């Protein structure tokens, strides 16, 4: 993080971002693997709530970034303060992690079976890819769409992303209870359909208020998808490597999404380019059945009674 702020040229910046990406990816897989074990022990869905903390932090980050800009802090000062806060805050939390060595084995497979079950990993990876593709596109292009496509001021242009983040945070904090009541498959399917409908509304109606509402619904619809995918990925057999592949394929969508939308926008316009994201949300709905099992047994389209 600090290395990027101190970089003097593009080569140094690329190297710093690469190192940060490798470290972030490793931590991401480890955190989700630990969360899978915690969810198994809890005996009920909690993954969406865990990811909801990340979404809440995203909102806090936007506030901190705005404050740093208002105070005219340099990137080194801004990133340095954040790095210090993260380091100091993380140390006591690390002691609360479970000792999950040897426990990242599927509840559905023999413990000696460690081969990656690609027949399950690939569909889950595709669902995650579609979700992250949409998230990345919303992060990078929602403000541009309002500013350039609808001619709003910069202050208004940031509101779709704010709505997206609020919708995602609120939805993730509610999603675990929805999974208990309706099942993971139904939540993922309805989420994909809601995301497609929300973004479609925001693009079809050429008004800032409609776009803000559309991106908010888009975030709320996508919110439960990745937690369900990661939870399922940790329970399909193959242990942590299987989850690692699901996470990796998913994050490719986050990397490609903004770039693909940008290239497409140059050829057909941003509104039509963003329509690709609607199609990917419908792919999520079509593949939703692949998230249909949980940490202690099947979670399908029927309501599930979890203990406790």
Q: Which tens digit of pLDDT belongs to each residue from 205-240?
A: 989 999 999 999 999 999 999 999 999 988 887 566
Alpha-carbon distance of 6 to 307, in angstroms, equals 51
Asked whether the predicted pLDDT for residue 78 surpasses 90, the reply is no
The hierarchical CATH code for the domain 2-291 is 1.20.1250.20
Q: Per-residue pLDDT averaged across 113-121, rounded?
A: 77
Asked whether the predicted pLDDT for residue 277 surpasses 80, the reply is yes
- CA-nearest of 283, 178, 292, 289 to 235 is 292
Q: Would you give the DSSP letter of residue 306?
A: -
Check: CB of residue 136 under 8 Å from CB of residue 259.
no
Q: What is the DSSP string of 250-284?
A: HHHHHHHHHHHHHHHHHHH-HHHHHHHHHHHHHHH
Alpha-carbon distance of 24 to 58, in angstroms, equals 15
Q: Which stretch of DSSP H or E encloses residue 177?
A: helix 159-182
Q: What is the DSSP string of 51-62?
A: HHHHHHHHHHHH
CB within 8 Å of 230: residues ≥ 6 apart: 32, 35, 36, 47, 51, 128, 243, 246, 247, 250
pLDDT tens figures, 12-71: 888 888 888 888 778 887 888 888 888 888 888 889 998 888 878 877 776 777 677 678
* Residue 69 C-alpha from the chain's centroid: 26
Alpha-carbon distance of 228 to 226, in angstroms, equals 5
Asked whether the predicted pLDDT for residue 122 surpasses 50, the reply is yes
Alpha-carbon distance of 175 to 192, in angstroms, equals 13
């Amino acid at each position: 993080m600090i290395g990027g702020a101190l970089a003097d040229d593009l080569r140094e910046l690329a190297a710093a971002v690469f190192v940060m990406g490798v470290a972030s990816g490793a931590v991401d897989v480890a955190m989700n693997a630990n969360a899978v074990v915690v969810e198994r022990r809890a005996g009920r869905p909690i993954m969406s709530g865990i990811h909801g903390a990340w979404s809440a932090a995203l909102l806090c980050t936007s506030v901190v970034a705005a404050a740093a800009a208002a105070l005219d802090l340099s990137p080194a000062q801004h990133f340095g303060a954040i790095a210090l806060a993260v380091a100091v805050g993380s140390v006591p939390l690390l002691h609360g992690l479970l000792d999950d060595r040897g426990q990242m084995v599927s509840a559905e497979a023999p413990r000696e079976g460690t081969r990656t079950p690609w027949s399950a990993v690939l569909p889950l990876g595709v669902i995650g890819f579609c979700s992250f593709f949409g998230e990345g596109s919303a992060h990078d292009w929602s403000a541009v769409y309002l500013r350039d496509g609808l001619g709003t001021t910069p202050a208004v242009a940031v509101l779709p992303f704010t709505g997206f983040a609020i919708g995602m945070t609120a939805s993730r904090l509610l999603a675990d209870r929805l999974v208990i009541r309706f099942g993971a498959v139904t939540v993922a399917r309805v989420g994909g359909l809601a995301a497609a409908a929300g973004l479609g509304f925001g693009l079809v109606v050429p008004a800032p208020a409609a776009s803000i509402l559309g991106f908010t619904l888009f975030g709320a619809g996508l919110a439960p998808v990745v937690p369900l995918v990661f939870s399922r990925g940790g329970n399909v057999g193959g242990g942590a490597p299987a989850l690692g592949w699901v996470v990796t394929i998913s994050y490719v969508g986050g990397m490609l999404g903004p770039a693909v939308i940008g290239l497409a926008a140059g050829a057909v316009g941003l509104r039509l380019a963003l329509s690709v994201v609607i199609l990917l949300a419908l792919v999520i709905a079509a593949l939703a059945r692949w998230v249909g099992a949980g940490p202690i047994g099947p979670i399908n389209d029927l309501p599930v009674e979890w203990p406790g």
